Amino acid sequence: LLVSNLLFLVLLVNVILAIIIPFCTSTVENYLHIGLSLQLLTVLSSFCVLVNNINFILYKMEDNPIDFAKLQIGQVILYVGLLAILVVGYKQQALGKILSNVVAIFIMSFIHLYLLYKRGYLMFKVDINVQRTLCKFGIPLLPHSLSFWIKSGMDKVILTTYCGLNVNGLYSMALSFGAVYALFNTSFSNVYVPELQKRLSKMTPENEKEEKRNLVRLSYKIGGVFVILCFSVIIVCWAIVHYVLSEQYTASFQYIPWIILSSTIYSFYGLVIQYPYTAKKTFGLGLVTFSGSVLQLFLTFVLVKTIGADGIKYSLVFGSLVIMLSVWWYSNKVYPMPWFSRL
C-alpha cells in the first residue's frame, strides 16, 4: 500500500509539473538553454527513476542481491547499447547521450513496474492516511533535495555567464570523471545503508552503547578508505587526461582534483546522513543542506566573478566541507553517537 501510494503521489506531482512547464519554458531556455522537449523529458525520467529506485530498495530490503544485480547490469547494458547507436552511429553527441539515458530508464521502468506488480506491491488503492504520512516525511526534505540542484546546476550557469562556454565545457568534462568516481559512493551506499538500517533497527538498550561505538569505528575506517581512494583516483585521472584523451581536454584536469576531493568529503557526509532519517528529523536536515548550498552558490558567484574559473574550485570544496560538517553536527544532535569518545 505504501509503494502504491508513493507512486501515485509522485505521478500526480510530475503531471502537475508537466502542465506548468510550458508556461515557464521561455525563462528556462533563456538561462539554461534547455528546450521544452528536454524539460518534459526531465519530468518523465524523474518519475521513471523513482520507479526503478523503489524496486531496487525493495530488493535490498528483501536481501535479494541477484535480481538487484541483474537489473542494474541490464540497465547499464541497455544504456551503453543506446549510447553506441545514437552517439557513435548517428553522431547525436550530447543529445544522443541524454536520449540514451532517458530511453534506458524509461524501458527499465516498465520492467520494474511489472516486477512490483508480480510481487504484490501494486495495489491501485489511494489511502489518505498514507498520503499524509508520505507528505509529512517528504515535504521537509524538499530543501534538502533542492540543495543538490543548487550545488550542481547553478554553478555551471554562473561559470558559463562569467567565463564562457569553453570553460564550462572543460568543467563538464572534469565533472564526467567526478561522476565515475561517484559510482564508488553509490555502490558503497547500496551495500552500507541497508546494513546500517538493520543494525539501527535491531539496537536495544542493552547493546546500544557498544553497537554505537562499533558503528563509529566502522565509519572512521570507511572514511580512511575513501581518503586513499581519493588520491588513487586523482592519479588515474591525470594519466587518462594526459595520455588517453585529446589534447583539447588536457586543461580540464585543473578541476578534477577539486571535484574528486569534494566527492570524498561528500562520502563522509554519506556516513552520517542516515541518522536523521532514522530519527525522522528531516526538516532540520533540509534547512542545513539548503543553507549550505545557498552559501556555496553565493561563494561561487563572488569568486568566479572576482578571480575567474579558479573560483569554482574553492567554492566547490568549501561548500561541500560546510555541508558535511553541518550535517554531521545536526546528525549528532538528533541521534547522538560517540564520535569523539575513546574507541
0.75 exceeded by the pTM?
no
248 pLDDT band (50/70/90 cuts)? confident
Task: Compute the average pLDDT of residues 199-223.
Answer: 87
CA–CA distance, 88 with 90 (Å, rounded to integer)? 6
pLDDT value at position 88? 65
The Cα 18–Cα 1 span in angstroms is 26
Within its chain, how far is the Cα of 125 from the centroid?
A: 30
Residue 53 has pLDDT above 80, yes or no: yes
72/327 Cα distance (integer angstroms): 30
- What whole-number percentage of the chain has pLDDT above 70? 91
Across the chain, what does the average pLDDT equal? 81
- What pLDDT does residue 308 have? 87
Higher pLDDT, 262 or 38: 262
Distance (Å, whole) CA 55 – CA 253: 37
Could you give the 3-state DSSP secondary structure of residue 134?
A: helix
Using N-to-C axis directions, what is the helix angle for 256-272 and 310-334, rounded to 10°?
Answer: 10
Q: What is the DSSP letter of 273?
A: T
Q: Which of 139-143, 215-219, 272-276 shows the lowest per-residue confidence on average (mean pLDDT)? A: 139-143
Give the separation between CA 109 and CA 122, rounded to whole angstroms: 14
Of the candidates 193, 201, 187, which has an alpha carbon nearest to the alpha carbon of residue 218? 193
Are the beta carbons of 39 and 28 closer than 8 angstroms? Answer: yes
Q: How far apart are CA 225 and CA 184, in angstroms?
A: 11
Closest by CA to 63, choosing from 163, 162, 175, 194, is 194
Whether the CB-CB separation of 44 and 106 falls below 8 Å is answered with yes
* Structure confidence at residue 258 (pLDDT): 92
Task: Answer yes or no: is pLDDT of 40 > 70.
Answer: yes
Q: Cα–Cα distance between 4 and 281 in angstroms, integer?
A: 24
Q: Give the containing element (helix H, strand E) for 52.
A: helix 36-61
